[in-house]
C-alpha cells in the first residue's frame, strides 16, 4: 500500500511525502525541520523513517528547510548535477549537504531500495526544474509542482500514471484583475512561470486515461485562486470528455498551510 500526503503546498512552502510500509521519502523541503517533524507525526510517521529527499528546483519555497534537514538527520538528497551545483551556493543549503549529495540524470531512472524515480525537465524560471515519475510497489505517480508550460514529455509520463500531482496555480481573471504588478503578472503567465487552472484543465484532458485513479491539484496561489475555483474548472474539463470527478477519477486540492489528509493507493 502506497501512502501520500502534502505537508505544505504553495509559495509559503512545499513538501510532500510518499511511502509504503517499508519507508518513505520527501519531495522538496520548503518548510522548517521542526514543522516537517510535526506534520509527519500528524500521520504517525517519524523523521527517522524518511529515507531520502528529492528536489524539484532551487526556489526558496522548495528548499528553505532542506539544508538543515539533510544535515541534522543525515538524509540523502537527490537532484541533478545542475541543481546540486546551485545548492552548493544557495544560502539555505551552502555547506550543509556535504555527504548527502546524490546526483540524478534527467530521463534516467534512479533506484533507492524498491523505489524508482525518474526526473524530467520542465520549463520554469529556476536554475533547473524537474518533475518526477515515481514507481513504488505496483503504483506509478507523476509529480509536477512548478511549470510554465505543459510539454509532450509531461503528458507522456502522466498518461502512464495511476496518480498525478499537478500544479494548478492561478485563475486567469483573478490574476489579471488582482493587485500584482504588471511585471509579476507577466512572470507568472510566461512560459517559464506557472500554470493556470485552464492550462491544467487542458493538460488533464490530454492525459486522462481509464487507469488514472486520483488527480491532486497542488501549488494553488493564495491570492489568485481558490480550491473551489480550481476544482470547478477541472471538473468542467473532465465532464467535457465524459469523465465524472469523484466517480471515474478522484480529484483533490492540497492545502497551502497545513497537512493534507493521508491518502492510500
| Contact in structure between 239 and 19 (CB atoms under 8 Å) | no
> What does the pLDDT read at residue 43?
97
Q: How far apart are CA 136 and CA 3, in angstroms?
A: 10
- 34 contacts: CB under 8 Å, gap ≥ 6: none
> What does the pLDDT read at residue 213?
98
> What does the pLDDT read at residue 225?
98
What domains are there in the chain, each with its CATH number? 3-264 (3.60.15.10)
> What does the pLDDT read at residue 262?
98
> What does the pLDDT read at residue 23?
87
Backbone dihedral angles phi then psi of residue 7, each to the nearest 5 degrees: -90, -25
Between the CA of residue 9 and those of 105, 106, 112, 118, 146, what are the distances in Å? 25, 24, 25, 21, 11
Tally the C-alpha atoms within 13 A of residue 112's C-alpha that lie toward its C-beta. 21
Surface-to-core class of residue 241, CB atoms within 10 Å of its CB (0-12 exposed, 13-18 middle, 19+ buried): exposed
pLDDT in tens, the chain (265 residues): 999 999 999 999 999 999 998 889 999 999 999 999 999 999 999 999 999 999 999 999 999 999 999 999 999 999 999 999 999 999 999 999 989 999 999 999 999 999 999 999 999 999 999 999 999 999 999 999 999 999 999 999 999 999 999 999 999 999 999 999 999 999 999 999 999 999 999 999 999 999 999 999 999 999 999 999 999 999 999 999 999 999 999 999 999 999 999 999 9
Q: How far apart are CA 97 and CA 112, in angstroms?
A: 18
What's the pTM value of the predicted model, to 2 decimals? 0.97
Amino acid at each position: 500500500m502506497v501512502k501520500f500526503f502534502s505537508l505544505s503546498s504553495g509559495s509559503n512552502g512545499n513538501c510532500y511525502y510518499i511511502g509504503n510500509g517499508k519507508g518513505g521519502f520527501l519531495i522538496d523541503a520548503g518548510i522548517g525541520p521542526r514543522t516537517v517533524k510535526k506534520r509527519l507525526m500528524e500521520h504517525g510517521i517519524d523523521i527517522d523513517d524518511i529515507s531520502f529527499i528529492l528536489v524539484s528546483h532551487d526556489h526558496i519555497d522548495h528548499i528553505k528547510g532542506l539544508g538543515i534537514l539533510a544535515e541534522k538527520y543525515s538524509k540523502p538528497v537527490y537532484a541533478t548535477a545542475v541543481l546540486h551545483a546551485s545548492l552548493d551556493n544557495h544560502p539555505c543549503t551552502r555547506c550543509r549537504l556535504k555527504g548527502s549529495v546524490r546526483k540524478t540524470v534527467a530521463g534516467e531512472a534512479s533506484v533507492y531500495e524498491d523505489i524508482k524515480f525518474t526526473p524530467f525537465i520542465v520549463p520554469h524560471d529556476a536554475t533547473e526544474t524537474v518533475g518526477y515519475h515515481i514507481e513504488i510497489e505496483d503504483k506509478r505517480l507523476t509529480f509536477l509542482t512548478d511549470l510554465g508550460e505543459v510539454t509532450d514529455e509531461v503528458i507522456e509520463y502522466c498518461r502512464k500514471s495511476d496518480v498525478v500531482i499537478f500544479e494548478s496555480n492561478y485563475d486567469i481573471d483573478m490574476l489579471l484583475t488582482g493587485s500584482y504588478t504588471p511585471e509579476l503578472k507577466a512572470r507568472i503567465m510566461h512560459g517559464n512561470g506557472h500554470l493556470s487552472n485552464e492550462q491544467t484543465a487542458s493538460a488533464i484532458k490530454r492525459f486522462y486515461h481509464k487507469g488514472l485513479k486520483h488527480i491532486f491539484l497542488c501549488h494553488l496561489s493564495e491570492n489568485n485562486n481558490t480550491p473551489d475555483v480550481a476544482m470547478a474548472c477541472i471538473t468542467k474539463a473532465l465532464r467535457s470528455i465524459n469523465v465524472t470527478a469523484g466517480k471515474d477519477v478522484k480529484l483533490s486540492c492540497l492545502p497551502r498551510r497545513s497537512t493534507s489528509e493521508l491518502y492510500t493507493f
